[in-house]
Structure 1
Amino acid sequence: MKYKQLITGCLLALACSAAHAEQVGSVDTVFKMFGPDHKIVVEAFDDPDVKNVTCYISRAKTGGIKGGLGLAEDTSDAAISCQQVGHIEVSDKIKKGKTEGEVVFQKRTSLVFKKLQVVRFYDAKRNALVYLTYSDKVVDGSPKNAISAVPIMPWKE
């Protein structure tokens, strides 16, 4: 029993560490007679570690009966655009961060093994934040990806 509680606690902590997205809107792409239509969903999230950076992601969402029940696997198609929305201060932790980047957003895109991720990198030479979105799967990931860069500029209030 304690093992299950430990696993549940770890999963909740992991889920809370990344940003939460708010749906901005969606468009239908394919009509489905039963269940919801296939869609492109637009979501926004704020970088959890960098104040005043907002990212917008558009991604495919599978409909139909499987999609309505949460059993469908969404395709790996996604796009991202990140914007400076106020004064940005980058911490030393981010400036000295890993070259592999830091995951700032995750979204489950299948029942168990597939997720959409956004990873942030800091480009010191150009004083910019770079956001990469891609989809991974335990066995077979996808090379489809999109990128957005936010130059850190002075902000007048």
Structure 2
Amino acid sequence: MRILAAILALTAISSTSVFADELDCASTTFRIMGANDKVCVSGFDDEKVGGVTCYVSQARTGGVKGMVGVAEDPSRFSLSCNQTGPITADLAKLKKREEVYSERTSLFFKSTHVYRIVDPKRKTLVYLAISDKIVDGSPYNAVSSVPVMPWNGR
């Protein structure tokens, strides 16, 4: 019981405070028992870089396990980040790499993370999505870039 409590505490401490808005889901596999497998699209704003919005599409496992929240989602996702307004951050003051979003994809051990990487030479923000497990990572990843450009003359 102590081990379970420690894992839950570690998961709560390590999670990022950014929440995504779930926009919509599309069923991909019909299941007789429980919910269908689906791909869901969520959007979030980069809190430290005003004017950037990212969208993540992620596979979600259905069935009985998915319906009660204990299924492990596959490490398959896509990422698109765009400039949606004037970028208000100074690139020189941002960390070279910083986590901007995290979502658990299994009950305890697996998460999808999105990191912002600053490319000052090209004046570009690069967003990298990866999946991890406590014991083993995953080679699945997605990348998107946002060139820092004037917005309506600003």
Which residue does the alignment assign to 1:105? 101
Instruction: Give the AA of the match of 1:78.
Output: F
Q: Secondary structure at the residue paired with 1:83?
A: strand
Instruction: Give the AA of the match of 2:46.
Output: D
Q: Secondary structure at the residue paired with 1:66?
A: helix
Which residue does the alignment assign to 2:74? 75
Q: Deviations over 1:14-59 (max 9, x none)?
A: 54x4421011111100011111100000000001111110000001
Task: Give how far 1:102 is off.
Answer: 0.7
Q: How many residues align?
A: 146
- Give the alignment's Cα RMSD to 1 decimal: 1.8
Which residue does the alignment assign to 2:37? 38
- Pick closer, same or farther for the CA change 1:141–1:13 going to 2, 3 Å: closer
Which residue does the alignment assign to 2:61? 62
Instruction: Give the AA of the match of 1:37.
Output: N
Q: Secondary structure at the residue paired with 2:48?
A: coil
- Pick closer, same or farther for the CA change 1:12–1:41 going to 2, 3 Å: same
Structure 1 runs of 4+ aligned residues shifted over 3 Å read 10-15
Match of 1:133 among 125, 129, 134: 129
Whole-Å Cα distance in 2 between the matches of residues 11 and 48 of structure 1? Answer: 21
Gaps of 5+ in 1: none
Provide the identity percentage: 45
Which residue does the alignment assign to 2:113? 117
Whole-Å Cα distance in 2 between the matches of residues 35 and 133 of structure 1? Answer: 29
**TM-score when scaled to structure 1?**
0.86
Which residue does the alignment assign to 2:24? 25
Task: Give how far 1:11 is off.
Answer: 6.0
Task: Give how far 1:154 is off.
Answer: 0.3
Which residue does the alignment assign to 2:93? 93
The answer (yes or no) to whether the contact 1:18–1:48 under 8 Å persists in 2 is no
Match of 1:155 among 145, 151, 154: 151
- Pick closer, same or farther for the CA change 1:79–1:67 going to 2, 3 Å: same
The answer (yes or no) to whether the contact 2:11–2:108 under 8 Å persists in 1 is no
Gaps of 5+ in 2: none
**TM-score when scaled to structure 2?**
0.88
